Amino acid sequence: MEKIVSLCKRRGFIYPGSEIYGGLANSWDYGPLGTELKNNIKNLWWKRFVQSRDDIVGIDAALIMNPKVWEASGHLKNFTDPLIECEKCHARFRAGDTLLMPHIATHGGSDEKSIENATIALGLWQKNPEEAMNKYPDQFQKWLADCPKCASKKSVSIGFVKKFNLMLKTFLGPAEEKTNIVYFRPETAQAMFVNFKNVLQTTRKTLPFGIAQVGKAFRNEITPGNFIFRTREFEQMEIEYFIREDDWEKYFEYWRKEMIEWIKELGVDIKKIHEAEIPDGERAHYSKRTIDFEYEFPFGQKELYGLAYRTDFDLKNHFKEAPYKEEEGDAFWPHVIEPTWGVDRSILVALLEAYHEEKDRVVLKLPPKLAPYKAAVFPLLANKPELIKKAREVYEMLKSCNLQSAICNLSVAWDDRGNIGKRYYSQDEIGTPFCITVDFESLANDDVTVRDRDTAKQIRVKISELTDWLIDKIS
């Protein structure tokens, strides 16, 4: 992880947020290359799940919504994490990370039964602490931990767990009064539900169909961390797929496969993905079934994406009258399958999978579609005007290529500093799949040397065929 964080900062993928003022805990700013990578992921997703399909349309809604949305969705009441506090230093932690996981490690190892018991106990605790303590006295008795911050012995106990609402609050308008409290959305999903009838009326879609959105979400996480893995401001790509109740299992299965296909697009070794069925008591308040797609991060196996069957919970809470009716039959509340993808976690896994150290070079073997630059163009020598002129022509030709209909944009870098070897290494480190060199032969033959990032092999390609050659390789 340290190597990835350092590379990201050094090469302009991701910087610590507000750095010149000492930073702001766990906030990160995407630099020029990180922004390209992020946009490539979001565009690829949008192309795959919205533009290439007839049954999904997209929206882009406001980040701050009427607080009644969060009342109806249950987030004001239920969107909580169990929080524990050290008796000595009053530092606060997520109960799951601080008590549950160490507890499992110390008492009962990692066998499935004890994990299940501990998980159920904590889940039940969230809903009804008294019942949980009576039902699992032994579990709770043992749940004492040393404070991860001040290291006081056994100063953190399950008895001190509080429910902490993760919604990020602010005030709308000049007066900081209770009536002006609003919340930044903690998921993009609700905008898709509250706009359900608008979309229906304006697109005339019939079941099954989906609404998609990509955008920011905010959560006042108790313990953000692990670089961009858990932050308080992040981006999601979500689909609410509306179906008939009887079809939920069929579409749950369908989206499960689609999510795996997407993970492959990021260049992720699918062996590092584990599907975790979330048990009763642990699922979000709206879900009847949830699968987390977990990835083997360097800091442990953790959630990458999620898939939930949200039933008709949200539409029923937002629409008092059934919002969907076809020509024949009664109106009803459609059910929902929700595949959800975190943008920042997508970036993190793409970087982790791509990072390679080979002899004396670092190579980011990003899938070409994701690479910030698809190619870099160099004149062999920086002091030969005729080489620079020709290389500049190749660079402009590639840059001006209009790839609206292709799978990604053809972003191209220019470099004429140092020697060719250094330029190759510099491009390898940021994942540029192809380096194009204009040399003396190019002046005579109208061709260039193209070097492949992963194999370091070089071939010659005619300049007139270069754009098509690149598009073919990238897509």
Residue ranges binding ligand GAP (CB under 6 A): 187, 189, 219, 221, 230-231, 234, 236, 238, 303-306, 338, 340, 342, 344-345
Task: Please report how close the Cβ of residue 304 comes to ligand GAP at its closest, in angstroms.
Answer: 6
* φ, ψ for residue 246, nearest 5 deg: -60, -20
Task: Please report how close the Cβ of residue 20 comes to ligand GAP at its closest, in angstroms.
Answer: 24
Task: Please report how close the Cβ of residue 236 comes to ligand GAP at its closest, in angstroms.
Answer: 5
Rounded CA-CA distance 395/436 in Å is: 9
Confirm if 93 and 223 have CB atoms less than 8 A apart. Answer: yes
Task: Please report how close the Cβ of residue 409 comes to ligand GAP at its closest, in angstroms.
Answer: 25
- What letters, b where the CB count within 10 A reaches 16 and e where it falls short, cover 147-177? bebeeeeebbbbeebebbbbbbeeeeeeeee
140/297 with CB nearer ligand GAP: 297
Which residue has its beta carbon closest to ligand GAP?
342
Task: Please report how close the Cβ of residue 465 comes to ligand GAP at its closest, in angstroms.
Answer: 41
Which residue type is seen at 137? Answer: P
Rounded CA-CA distance 6/381 in Å is: 31
Rounded CA-CA distance 56/473 in Å is: 29
The two beta strands, 434-438 and 375-379, are parallel
70/395 with CB nearer ligand GAP: 70
16/108 with CB nearer ligand GAP: 16
Confirm if 391 and 378 have CB atoms less than 8 A apart. Answer: yes
Scanning 74-159, the segments in alpha helix (DSSP H) are: 75-78, 95, 101-106, 112-127, 129-135, 137-142
114/317 with CB nearer ligand GAP: 317
11/310 with CB nearer ligand GAP: 310
Task: Please report how close the Cβ of residue 287 comes to ligand GAP at its closest, in angstroms.
Answer: 9
Torsion angle, alpha carbons of 90, 92, 97, 102, to 10 = 0
Rounded CA-CA distance 452/432 in Å is: 9
219/453 with CB nearer ligand GAP: 219
231/411 with CB nearer ligand GAP: 231
Q: Is the dihedral of CA 247, 252, 253, 257 positive or negative?
A: positive
Task: Please report how close the Cβ of residue 420 comes to ligand GAP at its closest, in angstroms.
Answer: 40
Task: Please report how close the Cβ of residue 305 comes to ligand GAP at its closest, in angstroms.
Answer: 5
Task: Please report how close the Cβ of residue 56 comes to ligand GAP at its closest, in angstroms.
Answer: 16
231/427 with CB nearer ligand GAP: 231
Task: Please report how close the Cβ of residue 35 comes to ligand GAP at its closest, in angstroms.
Answer: 17
186/368 with CB nearer ligand GAP: 186
Nearest one of 190, 296, 200, 178 to 240, comparing CA atoms: 190
Task: Please report how close the Cβ of residue 422 comes to ligand GAP at its closest, in angstroms.
Answer: 36
* φ, ψ for residue 144, nearest 5 deg: -125, 140
From residue 71, give the alpha-carbon distance in Å to each of 74, 221, 412: 5, 20, 48
Scanning 369-437, the segments in alpha helix (DSSP H) are: 385-399, 420-430
Rounded CA-CA distance 192/131 in Å is: 36
90/264 with CB nearer ligand GAP: 264
Rounded CA-CA distance 267/259 in Å is: 13
79/143 with CB nearer ligand GAP: 79
292/447 with CB nearer ligand GAP: 292
Q: Strand 233-243's sheet: what is its strand order? A: 56-58, 209-218, 233-243, 335-342, 300-311, 289-297, 273-277
The SS3 assignment for 233 reads: strand
Tell me which H or E stretch contains 38: helix 32-46
Task: Please report how close the Cβ of residue 298 comes to ligand GAP at its closest, in angstroms.
Answer: 16
